[in-house]
Structure 1
Amino acid sequence: MSSLAVSVRRLTTITEQTAQSVKAVFEGAYKGDHFTDIMIGSDPTLFGDLHMMCITSGLNTGQVYVAENEEKDIVGVAVWYGPEQGHPLDFTDGAHPILEPFMPKLKPEVQKWWTDVFVPESGRLLGSQFAPDARLAAWYLQDLATAPAYQRQGVARALINEVKKQAAADGRAITAQLATNETKVEIFKKLGFSEIGERVEFTGPAPEEKGFYIRACVMEPTSAPKTLD
């Protein structure tokens, strides 16, 4: 498919209308996603809460960008943490304020998995895969979603290129962790990322169910993109 004409802008606040548009993008992009299903304990009513938690965190301590088509409909969303911006899992005292509104809505066994497995292990991986100093010197892509009708039309690339220009100006790398499958890894490779380290396996709250794995990816400092194709 050819690239879509989109404009990218940063959100610093969010209205209820924009929040609903952002939720719709995430719901479409991650419908049927195994990792997301594990994160919400297979409770579809929590889908919007999970992704709005990421958006709220990005607005508070990171950066949120949206891609809009010519009609100004939001068709893509990216949540970033710039160099030296604190990631929610960077807290060393065990406190994760961004999780507080979301966690009580989960089933008790899923809450326990979040607090005992996913949060501490993800925090450990942020340090071991990128090394704290290296990660804090780079841009970190926390979340990326494109509405299904606009996928494979350059929307994700436009959202990445918006930050790539800023990273290139300072010689910064761009990093990401993918809780994912091989298809998503290949997409990120096409966007310019390379895998680093080994993939790390996770089990879900129910040990007998299929788990997931995390891959670390990096885009080394490069020149600013000239086009969005």
Structure 2
Amino acid sequence: MPDSLTIRQLVNPTPEELEATAQVAVAAFYGDECTRISLGGDWNLNPAEQRAIINAQQIGGENWVACDGDKIIALAGWYGPGRAFLDSPDQVEAGWNDFAAQMPSRLHDWWMNECLPQYDATVDVALGKGVKKNIWHLQLLATHPDYQKCGIGEALVKHKERLIALAGDCSLMCLESEKLETTKLYQKWGWEVRGEHHFDTLWGEFGLWVQTKVPVA
């Protein structure tokens, strides 16, 4: 882990900061099987997808970044109680519409008619209907490949976890992971698997693991 590592929330970020954050996610998820499937196999769509997620988090949730000096090298996107990914028009307009406009029709149909409904249903079965939106939710965690396996992702997650615990207004956190390797990593950090689902798509297969954790200061 870099000696100069700092963690901060992006508050009123510049367009350049948001783009730098999105590019970390672009690099982090390049080659990832679930991401490839979500793009319909077209890696040219990766920047649009990551911008859609990062920008939506900035509007409806929180973006936390880890920096090596002034360089953004990792990010964690969270939604607090009462908010969720793409739950408002301004989130959708901040990048999702651009991503959707670039999708081939069969990819768009899969997202809207299969992926998102099955994803939400899996979470509702695992946690109870509506529970996810009433607790803190880790939407995205990404570390630039040059800085992976150094404990930076864990530091980012636990930084926010401590703040949630100290606030004392939320007794549970949740997340979803799409790789068994990542799921096991979260388990090492104290997260518990509550449910899972298997996706079989035109572009390949991936899993979904729903996990929760009681926040600890």
Query: With structure 2 as the length reference, what TM-score do the two structures score?
Result: 0.88
Q: Percent identity?
A: 22
Task: Name which of 204, 208, 213 aligns with 1:210.
Answer: 204
C-alpha offsets along residues 58-109 of structure 1, whole Å, 9 cap, x if unaligned? Answer: 111111111111x221111111011222332x68xxxx83532221201111
Matches of 1:112 and 1:85 in 2, distance apart? Answer: 25
Correspondence for 2:83: 85
Contact 1:129–1:216 (Cα < 8 Å) also in 2: yes
Query: With structure 1 as the length reference, what TM-score do the two structures score?
Result: 0.84
Contact 1:3–1:154 (Cα < 8 Å) also in 2: no
Residue 221 of structure 1 and its aligned partner are, at CA, apart by: 3.4
Contact 1:140–1:174 (Cα < 8 Å) also in 2: yes
Correspondence for 2:192: 194
Matches of 1:51 and 1:23 in 2, distance apart? Answer: 6
Aligned residues: 211
Correspondence for 1:227: none
Q: Which runs of 4+ in 1 moved over 4 A?
A: 2-5
Is 1:97 paired with 2:96?
Answer: no
Contact 1:63–1:81 (Cα < 8 Å) also in 2: yes
Residue 178 of structure 1 and its aligned partner are, at CA, apart by: 1.0
Larger mean Cα displacement after TM superposition, 211-220 or 3-12: 3-12
Matches of 1:29 and 1:190 in 2, distance apart? Answer: 21
Residue 4 of structure 1 and its aligned partner are, at CA, apart by: 5.1
Matches of 2:82 and 2:2 in 1, distance apart? Answer: 33
> Gapped runs of 5+ residues in structure 1?
225-229
Matches of 1:40 and 1:105 in 2, distance apart? Answer: 10
Correspondence for 1:117: 114
SS in 2 for 1:168: helix
Contact 1:4–1:154 (Cα < 8 Å) also in 2: no
Contact 2:37–2:204 (Cα < 8 Å) also in 1: no
Task: Give matches, 1:36-51, under 5 Å.
Answer: 36-51=35-50
- Give the partner amino acid of 2:161: K
Correspondence for 2:71: 73
Contact 1:81–1:142 (Cα < 8 Å) also in 2: yes
C-alpha offsets along residues 177-201 of structure 1, whole Å, 9 cap, x if unaligned? Answer: 1122x2111211122211112x201
Is 1:139 paired with 2:136?
Answer: yes
Matches of 1:14 and 1:41 in 2, distance apart? Answer: 31
Task: Give matches, 1:147-226, under 5 Å.
Answer: 147-169=144-166, 170=168, 171-180=170-179, 182-197=180-195, 199-204=196-201, 206=202, 209-222=203-216, 224=217
Residue 127 of structure 1 and its aligned partner are, at CA, apart by: 2.2
Matches of 2:129 and 2:208 in 1, distance apart? Answer: 18
> Gapped runs of 5+ residues in structure 2?
none
Contact 1:78–1:145 (Cα < 8 Å) also in 2: yes
SS in 1 for 2:204: coil
Correspondence for 1:6: 5
- Give the partner amino acid of 1:63: E
